[in-house]
Every structure is written in structure tokens, then in C-alpha cells.
Structure 1
Amino acid sequence: MGICTSAGVIRDFAGSYLVSEDNMAFGRPTKYWKLDVDKVCGTGSAAWDKAVHDAYKCRPHNLCCDNCHSHVALALNLMRYDNRTSWNMVNLCLRSLIHGKHVSCVSFLKTWLPFLMLTGALVTFILTLNLH
């Protein structure tokens, strides 16, 4: 998960103390959630860019507690997006799942096909166990 600057440059953590720009760690984006700069407390795009910059400066990155989701949440908290400071990994994930839009039909398949295949294999395995 990454967040764009007002100029549209995606910032994403690629590892500890390593921020990539327009080169996300896990490939090209498959889904996006367009946020409204008018919901930022402060001077619009200037406040947005400062919050994005401050959220990504000189920070460690770890998979469980301080990951790309938490850095995006920090940026939203710093800019007081939607007049809130309670953004976190969980509500950000849920809101992006609900409000996000897929880039294309192929991106939809890239996002959901592995999950559906794994779920199908698991259901088949469980049904096979129950039949014996």
C-alpha cells in the first residue's frame, strides 16, 4: 500500500529506511482509492505533501507492526484527513477494500484469483475429508 503526493507520485516502503517512488515493492498497483484533498486540514495540497513526506522520513519498516499500511495511516493522521486522527492499518484496509476501485479487469483477477483458487482448494479438501 502506498500513497501519492499531490503530483501523483506514489510513495511506498520497499524496506527499512527505503522509500520508493513510483516503483512499489510488490509491483504495479491493482487497486486505488481516490482521496479528496479538500478533506485535509490545512492548506490543501501543501498540507497533503508535507504529511506524506513526514510519514515516510527516516523510519524503520517491519512486516507486522510498522508496515506500508501503517505509514499510509500515519500520513492520513498527520494531515487530519476527514478531520480524523484515528487512522490505522485495520480501518485503512477495510475502507480501501470498500471504497477502492480496480485499475482494470486484469488487476481484479490478480487481486482475487489466488484467493479464490486457495479457497476452492481448501473447500475441496474439506469436502473430500467429509466424504471418507
Structure 2
Amino acid sequence: MGCCECNVILCHREQRHVGQQLTLAYDRKQLILERSPASEELSGQYVDLYDFTDGRLEVRWKGQVLPYRVFDKDQRVSHTAIVENKRLGHALALIKAQQDIKYVPKVKTNSEKINYRKRERKSEAVEMTA
């Protein structure tokens, strides 16, 4: 058994659906297939995605490797990208500050969901007159 065959056997393989824009999603990344005669007919089809142990990804259809480019959904603004323009730099600094704040959603209890408010008890102090 060759080294190449072992890599294919030991990799993680999944089938992914190709959209109309020749895109497919994997591991929070958007994979965009390069336009070619072979890839044009893949819209609406399923392709095989090979995730190798060394971190490589391969998109294959009927054994043919398809070229692609990766769009990362979790992109961040880096400080090196900030230009010396004062207004733009300030706007990008605000955006970075908003990205750095981690949003933690508040989970409401059932009482909070239905807007239940606890009411005080009526006092049961009854005066006895003789």
C-alpha cells in the first residue's frame, strides 16, 4: 500500500452540497470553487471533501480534485490594517473594540419569558375586638 493511499484512508471524508454560487461550507469557512467547465455543472450536486491529518483540504468530484479558494467567516480587523487617516483609524478602532467585547446571551427563566411578577402577600392580620 502506497503512502498516498494511506493518507486517503486515514483522512476525514465528508460529502458537502454545492450551492448555485459554487460554494460549500466546512468548519466555519466558505469554500468557493474556481470556475471551470467541470465545476460549472456541480451546482446542486454533492462533492467529497477530504480533510487530511496535516491540515490540507481537498474537494473532489468523481475522483477529480477541484481547485478552490477559502473565505474565512471569522475574519477580524487587525491594527496593522489601520491607515493613518484619523477618521478611518478612529472608526476601525471602534469596530475592533466592539469585536473584542464577547456577547453572552442572557437566558431567561420561564417566569421572565411570560413577564411574571411576584406580588406581595396580603396581610392576614385581623384585629380581634372583644
TM-score computed with the length of structure 1 as normaliser = 0.25
Bigger relative contact order, structure 1 or 2 (CA pairs below 8 A, ≥6 apart): 1
TM-score computed with the length of structure 2 as normaliser = 0.25
